Copies of this chain bind each other. A is one copy, B any other.
């Protein structure tokens, strides 16, 4: 398969480059009859949009989405939903000057070696602008999940060594870092401003939670729920690490410390007393909250001089100008939520196909 589609039954295909006519996507496999409005999608795109604050790029894009198919009288028809966002504020001139130099930490070299040449304007297809299509598709997945009672949230857990100490859910969308700890959020904003000043950038950690996920999702042995989540998260630009539940912390634990005891919850459902497993056991959701963390590298585009080579391998110095976020974290949150939603929507449909009630002996 060509690599621009994701999911089996709920399937997203994205297309578009940073400085081409537009970016967009097609969602195929969304069940018919789902109520959907343009605003559902626009809301998520607005959350992802650049130019929102001091911590983000100053590129201004309205990012108005159009739905071109698959919707009739306010409901999905079962046919593919095509969505389009025109590009409007592309300044390719920033990129022309250095188009023969390989920006450190970027995909310039690897795309050249893979494809023989590349659309160098704004990073072309390797630009994070590609994630517009993910967020648009994820918005539909979220809408579908909501009808099954599944809710998804994401937030900035850490920026450098600053880490949220408290979790106030209502705080997340109130600060521009999307950090659930208002005090730490303020420190993060200062830290980002300092990095921008220093022509530098910062890495961090995003955390995701999915609540109300029915038990039984995930298809052993290769399409375990955590496997498809791992793929989804590692497909997002800048992600270098993914963990579930206790994550790398399990390396330090004994089995007697790490195992979560099973219990019957007050509502009669079986679950666990603790949730070190992060909502997935044996590749299948347990019904407990799904918890994931993603490590995002510092934005590779920095304005200070860096050593590199040109297309021919000759040494060169590059300063990457353009309008770049000193940290991707706040804008990463809606993208990561979208990928989580896409995986869960897909597995929800897969489980519907798999679970047949036969007469029992």
Contacts and interface: CB of A to CB of B under 8 A. Distances in A.
Interface string A322-353: 00000000000000000000000000011111
Contact of A307 (B205, B261, B280, B284): B261
Contact of A117 (B32, B247, B314): B32
Contacts of A244: 234, 240-241
B304 A256 contact: yes
A201 to B, nearest CB: 4
A107 interface: yes
B235 A281 contact: no
Scoring A161, A230, A243 by chain B CB atoms within 10 A of each residue's CB, the highest score goes to A230
A146 to B, nearest CB: 11
Interface stretch (A40-48, A67-75, A180-188): A67-75
Contacts of A284: 107, 110-111, 113-114
B28 A4 contact: yes
Contacts of A178: none
Contacts of A104: 259-262, 272
Taken together, the copies of this chain in the complex come to 4
Interface string A186-208: 00000000010000111111000
Given A247-B295, A296-B251, A77 B115 contact: yes
A255 B105 contact: yes
Contacts of A33: 115-117, 356-358, 360
A13 B13 contact: yes
Contacts of A280: 110
A2 B17 contact: no
Contacts of A37: none
Given A17-B79, A282-B106, A74 B361 contact: yes
Contact of A11 (B2, B285, B309): B2
A301 B117 CA distance: 49
Interface residues of A, number: 161
B361 A35 contact: yes
B309 A270 contact: yes
A354 interface: yes
Interface string A246-276: 1111111111111111111000101011000
A224 interface: yes
Contacts of A114: 32, 78, 215-216, 218, 284, 351, 354-355
A308 interface: yes
Contacts of A13: 5, 13, 26, 28, 80
Contacts of A81: 15
A56 interface: no
A20 interface: yes
Nearest to A195: B254
B3 A224 contact: yes
A119 interface: yes
A138 interface: no
19 contacts: A2-B29, A3-B223, A13-B26, A15-B80, A17-B77, A20-B69, A32-B115, A32-B356, A33-B116, A79-B124, A107-B282, A111-B284, A114-B218, A195-B254, A240-B245, A240-B247, A247-B295, A250-B297, A250-B298
